[in-house]
Structure 1
Amino acid sequence: MIFLPLILAHLIGDFVLQPQSWVADKETKKLKSKYLYFHIIIHLVLNLIFLWNFDFWWIACVVAFSHFIIDACKLSFQTSSTKKNWFFIDQLLHFVVIIGLSFLIEKPDFTSYFTTGNFKMLAAVVFLTTPASIFIKILLSSWSPIPQDENSVQTESLTDAGKYIGILERLMVFTFIAVNHWEGVGFMVAAKSVFRFSDLAQAKQRKLTEYVLIGTLLSFGFAVFAGILIK
Structure 2
Amino acid sequence: MDSIKIKILIPLVAAHFLSDFVLQTDLDVKQKKKLKIFLKHISLVTSVSYLFLGLFYNYLIPVFILITHSLIDLIKLKVKKDNIWIFLSDQFLHIIILIFVSSNHTYFTDTSDQFSWEKYFGKDYYSVLLLITSSIIITKFSGILIGYLIKPLQSKIFKEAQSNNNLPQTGKIIGYLERFIILISVLMNVPAIIGFLITAKSILRYAEIKSENDKLFVEYILIGTLFSFALGISISYLANESITAMKVII
TM-score by length of 2: 0.44
Larger gyration radius, structure 1 or structure 2: 1
TM-score by length of 1: 0.47
Relative contact order higher in (CA < 8 Å, ≥ 6 apart): 2
